[in-house]
Every structure is written in C-alpha cells, then in structure tokens.
C-alpha cells in the first residue's frame, strides 16, 4: 500500500507499510509564498493526529504544521534546514518534512484522498 491522504489543515501523508512520510500540500505552499525557515520535530517525538508538530515560516507568515496521523518521528528531511525553498519547488515530493512510524492505520479513514482534497482545496481558494 502506497497511498497519499490529506488533512483539512493541508498536510499530506504518504503511507508505505507502517511508515508515513508527511509534508504540506502544493496548495498550502502556494498560499504561504516563499518558504524561508522550517522548524522540524525531533526524532523520537511521539505525535498525536491533529497535534502541532512543526513550524514553517514564509515571507508572508509563520504557520503551524499539524500531524495528519499519530506515530513516532523516525526521520527528518534535514535538507530543508538549509534549503527551505524546496517546499515551494516540490511540496509533495522532495519537500517532505518528516517520516513517522505509524501508530494506528485506521486514522487514515479520517483523511481525504487526492480527489476529495482537490475539491476541498478549491473551495478554500
């Protein structure tokens, strides 16, 4: 299983087995503008679905990033510390924030698939 799900806060999680890669949607980075700083969580941090887990700052504003799913942080995208603009270039690819060892796969049921998210985001614009 390798699927991407989206939260109503514009975060995404791409699930591969019991690991989830988390980032912000292309829509979200577009709303933020040029990203200039990212504060990542620490490896080993246990997060709960919907909990603030990171911060992204752009030329426009600072924004909290909420975990779309519960788990333990097992890896960070350290490249974002020196190159936060990667989020603008590839928000749903190389601009991922962190990886989690997932705690409860049933939480994916609370998230949107790509089509539902596209519809949701178009109403936010």
pTM: 0.95
List Cβ neighbours of 26 (8 Å cut-off, separation of 6 or more). 91, 92
pLDDT at 6: 98
Task: Give me the CATH topology for the region 2-106.
Answer: OB fold (Dihydrolipoamide Acetyltransferase, E2P) (2.40.50)
Domain limits of the chain? 2-106
Selection from 90, 24, 100 nearest residue 57 by Cα: 24
Assess whether pLDDT exceeds 90 at residue 81: yes
> And the tokens for 105?
């796969």
> And the tokens for 91?
């928000």
50 burial level (CB within 10 Å; 0-12, 13-18, 19+): middle
pLDDT at 2: 67
Confidence of residue 118 (pLDDT cuts 50, 70, 90): very high
Confidence of residue 3 (pLDDT cuts 50, 70, 90): confident
Give the least confident one: 17-21, 45-49, 121-125: 121-125
- Between CA 25 and CA 10 the distance in angstroms is 6
- Between CA 40 and CA 108 the distance in angstroms is 22
């Amino acid at each position: 299983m390798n699927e991407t799900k989206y939260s109503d806060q514009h975060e995404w999680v791409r699930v591969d087995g019991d690991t989830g890669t988390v980032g912000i949607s292309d829509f979200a980075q577009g709303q933020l503008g040029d990203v200039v700083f990212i504060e990542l969580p620490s490896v080993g941090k246990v997060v709960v679905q919907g909990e603030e887990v990171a911060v992204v700052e752009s030329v426009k504003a600072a924004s909290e990033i909420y975990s779309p799913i519960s788990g333990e942080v097992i890896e960070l995208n350290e490249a974002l510390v020196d190159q936060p603009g990667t989020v603008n270039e590839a928000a749903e690819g190389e601009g991922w924030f962190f990886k989690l060892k997932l705690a409860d796969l049933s939480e994916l049921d609370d998230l949107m698939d790509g089509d539902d998210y596209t519809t949701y985001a178009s109403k936010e614009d």
